[in-house]
Every structure is written in structure tokens, then in C-alpha cells.
Amino acid sequence: MASSMSRRDWLKASTLLTSGFTFLSGPLTSVAAPASPANMEGSKFLTEREFYRQEIPDLKARLFANENPFGPSDKAKQAIIDSLAKSYQYPFMDIAAMIDKITAYEGLKPNMVLMSSGSSPILHGAANYYCKPGDSVVTADPSYADLPTHAEDFKAKWIKVPLTKEFSLDLDAMEKAIDSTTKLVYICNPNNPTATIVDAAKLKDFCERVSKKVMVFVDEAYIDYLPDPEKTTLIESVKKGQNIIVARTFSKLYGFAGLRIGYMVAQPKTVELLEPYCVGRIGISGPSIKAAIASYRDKEFLAEALKKTMASKEFLYKTLKDEGYSYIPSSANFVMFEIKMDGQRFVNEMMKRGVGVRFWEFNNKHWCRISIGRMDEMEAFAAAFKELS
């Protein structure tokens, strides 16, 4: 099994599943967590594939998938309703119209953009194209594991580089970890599950240097949560001709996780090479692309969603502080904090109380990742958490 859990952990988790309980799992208020040698084994968690194999019951608070409950926008919903009558048609022209919108905003050529149903098909396609037996992919650890999990499916090696003491990507160590087998370096910024960011200038320098040797994949799923995404994005570096793939999704701040729209930006040659490996435009539904066109760069909606996310996040920070817990300050719509009991038990106890969260194990500690939801969901979390902490 291509998994970050040991077989024993997985069996333990599966036993929980079949025993009738179906869920597994300001300034750094500061979690002292230096990268330890034990950390070199890599973090433990359920991969996306393992996690979503579970039955997930109705919950008071669905805080396990980094979705945005404040979306999609009203304009997007109306566009879906308006599009239904013509949904017998393939949406080819609408996909072209969406690419026009993206290229006009970003200053790109149309052949530098590949649309797909969410960004996952792009992550999977890149793993498929770049990672053959004997190849390797370098990632931070913990980071979003979907691409390297697929790389392992294709028998490539996953080289995991621990985060820095500040829980940020250790770009120097990642660069050192690249060897002659490395075909892809995966960067997630902001990083999932820690919601930390790397210094934009440092990342740009890293990409400029490293992309001369090996393809760099920059996953910007959460970039819309930053105050200045334009300063952070690597799209500018793609425009300079660098060998970088940038993945974007509507699943997060746009609230489209169930509608499935994403895209990649890369050199025309890379787009051409990857297209056969990704389920690209044919995986996109007509109503979804109409909704994306209606809400792309909708400043008012995006600002409102951000404001509500921040209010819920502040409430969460206060809850954690009041209970004597520290957390990693978040630059996205989720927060990671250290828990004081076994992670699996914590997740199960929260689930019994109608609150879905996830857990990770790294630096010899157990951590909860909680997504930012509506205020009523954060209140449900707080009530359950107070019973456990």
C-alpha cells in the first residue's frame, strides 16, 4: 500500500472503522518543535485516498477538508441555474472563455494554461508523467501528500525533507536532497497541513536555480488566502520562461470543491507534454465552468469570504489559547495545533461529538489540523474541545 502510515497503523485504523465508528482521522504561541532525527522517518497520517475511503456521517462541523463554507458566490450559483438548459452540450467554448479570462488577468498566452476538474488531475498527471520506477520526487514533510503518493504508485521514490523549526518549507535542505534520480520537486505554498508560507523572494530564487536542473511543481491551492497573492505567485517566474508548473484551484477561497475547477500554468511545451496525462478539459462540467467564469476575480465575494474566514480563525485562536493550547499561526483556511492525547483518539472523540478534524504525527508529537468553517461550526468545535482538553 502506498501510504504514509505503517501497515500496523492502517490495520488499527481499519479496526476502528469496522467497529462502528467511522472516522479517522499570534506569534507562534509557540510550539517548540525542532526537526528531530526521528522526524527523518517521515510524518504519519492518512493519505487523501485512505481518508476518503471512510464513511463520513453527517456532522455539526465539517472541518476536515479545508473547504470554504462561505462559497460558492451567488453569481456562481445563478450561473449554474442559467446553464442547466444547455447542459446537454459539451462546454468547449466556455473552457476557452475561461482560459481567456485567466490569460487576460495574468498576462499569459492561452497555450500556457491547462484547465481541469480541480487541481488534483494536474497533480496526478504530473506524478504520472515525471515519476517512473527509479525516479524520485522531493517534497517537504509534512506537506500535501497527493502528488508523491501517486508518484509512489508509479514506483518512484518519495524523498521527504523535514520542515524548519518554524514549520516552514526548508528550501535549502530540499535543494540538497535533489539527486540524479529526482525528476520533480513539489512545493506547496501555503503548505498543507501547516498553513505556513515561505519567503516569496527566497522561493523565487530557489525556483530559478532548481528549475534549471529539474521541474518544480508549485501548488498554490491556498494562495488566495494571502493578503498579496500577486507578490507570492510563481506565475511571474513561468512568464520569464522558467521550468515551473503552477497549480491553481477554485476549490478553496472560491468555494468550488464540489464543482471541480482548477488549472495549471506552465511553458507551452510542458502543457503539451502533460495534457495526455491529466484528465483535462473533458473532465469539466458545463455548469461548473459557467460558475467559474461568473465568479473569477469577484473582488467583493472574495473579500467577504476572507473576512468571514478571519473571524472564525480568530475565534479558534482564542478557544485554543483559553484552553492552554499553542498553534501554528496560519496563512490559509486551516490551523494546525499540538494535541495532548493520542491523535487517533482525539479525532474519534471529536467525531463522537459531531466534529470532523484530522490528525498528523510528526516531530514525535500528535497534531490536529482543523479547517476554518462557519462560526456555528467553530462553536461546535469549541464546545467539544472543552470537554476533551
Site residues (vs ligand PLP, CB under 6 A) = 66, 118-120, 144, 188, 192, 219, 221, 249, 251, 257, 262
Shortest distance in whole angstroms from residue 186 CB to ligand PLP: 10
> Is the CB of 47 or the CB of 319 nearer to ligand PLP?
47
Residue number with CB closer to ligand PLP (83 or 139): 139
Give least dist CB 315 to ligand PLP, A.
22
Q: How far is the CB of 179 from ligand PLP (least distance, A)?
A: 25
CB of 118 or CB of 325, closer to ligand PLP: 118
Q: How far is CA 42 from the centre of its chain?
A: 18
Q: Residue 256 CB, nearest distance to ligand PLP (Å)?
A: 8
User: Where do the H-state alpha helices sit in 89-223?
Assistant: 92-106, 120-130, 146-153, 171-177, 200-210
Short-list 281, 365, 280, CA closest to 325: 365
Extract the runs of DSSP E, i.e. beta strands, from 242-333.
244-249, 262-265, 327-328
Give least dist CB 12 to ligand PLP, A.
25
User: CA-to-CA distance for 107 and 133, rounded, in angstroms?
Assistant: 37
Q: Nearer to ligand PLP by C-beta: 91 or 118?
A: 118
Nearer CB in complex with ligand PLP: 275/349? 275
What is the H or E stretch that residue 268 is in?
A: helix 268-274
Q: Where are the alpha helices (DSSP H) in 131-256?
A: 146-153, 171-177, 200-210, 229-232, 235-239
The C-alpha cell that represents 262 in the structure block: 482548477
The continuous run of DSSP H or E covering 382 comes out as: helix 375-388
Q: Nearest to ligand PLP by Cβ — which residue? A: 118
Comparison of 255 and 262: residue with beta carbon closer to ligand PLP? 262
CB of 65 to ligand PLP, least distance (A): 6
